[in-house]
């Protein structure tokens, strides 16, 4: 059954298979939101007189029954029915008769799928936000726990200056704050109602778009009916940019963990059940979880570019190209949520080595401390730098004792992580999202 079918016409089976593609698979994710949009729409139709009050109430009741089947994972799209919109209308008509055929008045599949995707993305952005916040809280807690555990800091992958586990993990916590700024912007774009824009040019029916906006708890409307359709693809791309920022942070953290659990570093370790072995090397404890997080998150970072290539240079109005945004973005959402959960699992079970910097190979980490100590004693910085450099060249440099290493107290240094301030920044960003 197709909403657009006409008598005495049919579509080639090959064309139909090609044009439908994987739509039914992803439409199941939208079913809950399609019913929500339909409930809001028929409620409004009843209020503006395009359905009687009794018809509207009957349709809402039937739609709520369909919603219950979706909640209990009993909803499917029947063979021969094109999409989720057709399936919902078909089921409703089976329940309440010809009244069910009235629910498409004032709508096009274009604005139906647009509102479904906006509702879906709004909910998924909130789910991702919640998992990011959970990871953020874990990073802050672990950062505070290990704030006094010193760790080598690197530049160019060369030993540079003393760092700490607290400073390292706190950096990723703050990175997530900025990532959520982008995700919050995506939320605001998704939180605008396109319903009532029809095929992109509005309707001659006396629709009340403000009412459906209120019923669906959108922040506002996509006011211009043409732009409501142009927001397809753009909303998905903006969401993917926010997701990409989160993915970049996860990928970098995963790479750090791969390095730090390597035997040549040996800073952190994980239980055997969270690592994998080798088919021929019995000593191996491979960081497969981190490697897959890194790979999956790198792939997620390609999604904005893929969506750009899909929607770029399209003129205004709807185009079937937009159908493919679902198969690009929807699986990536599930991948990102899984990566966030697995990163939390790994960090919750991470063991940190003590006294890492006691190893002789890290003694040059303290060259800057030695320079600074001379500067404090009144020696000009350039002279102090030359003296310490000469001591290193002549192999007579003696690093300070670990207990005497100066801990910077300025904001964001080893001795002053400012984790409470970072938490306050996160709370500000969290308030930019809806419930």
Of 151, 194, 192, whose CA–CA distance to 414 is shortest?
151
pLDDT per position as a tens digit, 203-236: 999 999 999 999 999 999 999 999 999 999 999 9
CATH of 110-146+164-198+221-358, one of 1.10.3720.10, 1.20.200.10, 3.40.640.10, 1.10.10.10: 1.20.200.10
Q: Which residues are within 8 A (CB) of 226 and not within 5 positions of it... i.e. 6 or more apart? A: 197, 200, 201, 316, 317
- Phi then psi for 41, rounded to 5 degrees? -65, -45
Which SS3 state, helix, strand or coil, does residue 399 take? coil
Specify the CATH number of the domain 13-105.
Answer: 1.10.275.10
Q: Judge whether 56 and 105 are in contact, CB under 8 Å.
A: no
Query: What pLDDT is recorded for position 4?
Result: 44
Residues near 69 by Cβ (< 8 Å), separated by ≥ 6?
75
- Residue matched to tokens 């439409």: 27
- Would you call 422 exposed, middle or buried from its count of C-beta atoms within 10 A (0-12, 13-18, 19+)? buried
| Number of neighbouring beta carbons within 10 Å of residue 274 | 18
Task: Give 218's contacts (C-beta < 8 A, 6+ positions apart).
Answer: 118, 191, 192, 193
Ordered by start, the domain boundaries in the chain are 13-105, 110-146+164-198+221-358, 360-404
Query: What is the predicted pLDDT for the residue at 286?
Result: 87
CB atoms within 10 A of CB 347: 19
pLDDT < 50 regions, the chain:
1, 3-4
**pTM of the predicted model, to two decimals?**
0.91
Of 186, 50, 204, which Cα lies nearest the Cα of 129?
A: 186
Q: What pLDDT, on the 0 to 100 scale, is given for residue 6?
A: 53
Is the fold of 13-105 the same as that of 110-146+164-198+221-358?
A: no
């Amino acid at each position: 059954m197709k909403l657009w079918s006409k008598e005495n016409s049919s579509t080639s089976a090959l064309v139909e298979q090609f044009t439908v593609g994987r739509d039914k698979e992803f439409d199941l994710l939208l079913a809950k939101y399609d019913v929500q949009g339909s409930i809001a729409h028929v409620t409004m139709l009843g209020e503006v007189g395009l359905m009687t009050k009794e018809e509207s109430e009957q349709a809402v009741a039937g739609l709520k029954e369909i919603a219950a089947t979706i909640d209990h994972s009993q909803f499917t799209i029947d063979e021969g029915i094109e999409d989720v919109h057709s399936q919902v209308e078909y089921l409703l008509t089976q329940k309440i008769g010809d009244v069910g055929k009235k629910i498409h008045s004032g709508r096009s599949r274009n604005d139906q799928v647009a509102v479904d995707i906006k509702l879906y993305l709004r909910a998924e952005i909130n789910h991702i936000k919640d998992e990011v916040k959970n990871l953020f809280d874990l990073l802050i807690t672990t950062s505070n726990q290990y704030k006094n555990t010193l760790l080598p800091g690197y530049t160019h992958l060369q030993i540079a200056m003393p760092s700490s586990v607290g400073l390292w993990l706190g950096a990723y916590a703050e990175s997530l704050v900025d990532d959520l700024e982008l995700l919050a912007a995506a939320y605001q774009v998704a939180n605008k109602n396109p319903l009532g824009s029809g095929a992109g040019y509005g309707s001659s029916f006396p629709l009340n778009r403000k009412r459906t906006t209120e019923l669906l708890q959108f922040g506002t409307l996509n006011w211009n009916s043409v732009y409501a359709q142009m927001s397809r693809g753009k909303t998905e791309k903006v969401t993917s940019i926010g997701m990409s920022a989160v993915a970049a942070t996860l990928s970098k953290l995963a790479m750090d963990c791969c390095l730090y659990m390597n035997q040549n570093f040996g800073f952190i370790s994980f239980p055997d059940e969270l690592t994998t072995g080798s088919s021929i090397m019995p000593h191996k404890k491979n960081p497969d979880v981190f490697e897959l997080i890194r790979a999956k998150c790198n792939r997620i970072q390609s999604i904005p570019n893929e969506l750009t290539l899909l929607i770029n240079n399209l003129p205004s109005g709807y185009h079937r190209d937009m159908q493919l945004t679902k198969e690009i973005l929807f699986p990536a959402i599930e991948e990102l949520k899984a990566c966030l959960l697995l990163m939390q699992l790994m960090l919750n079970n991470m063991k940190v080595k003590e006294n890492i910097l006691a190893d002789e190979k890290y003694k040059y980490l303290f060259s800057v401390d030695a320079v600074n100590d001379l500067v404090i004693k009144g020696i000009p910085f350039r002279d102090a730098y030359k003296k310490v450099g000469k001591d290193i060249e002549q192999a007579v440099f003696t690093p300070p004792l670990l207990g005497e290493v100066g801990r910077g107290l300025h904001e964001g240094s080893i001795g002053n992580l400012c984790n409470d301030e970072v938490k306050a920044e996160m709370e500000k960003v969290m308030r930019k999202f809806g419930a």
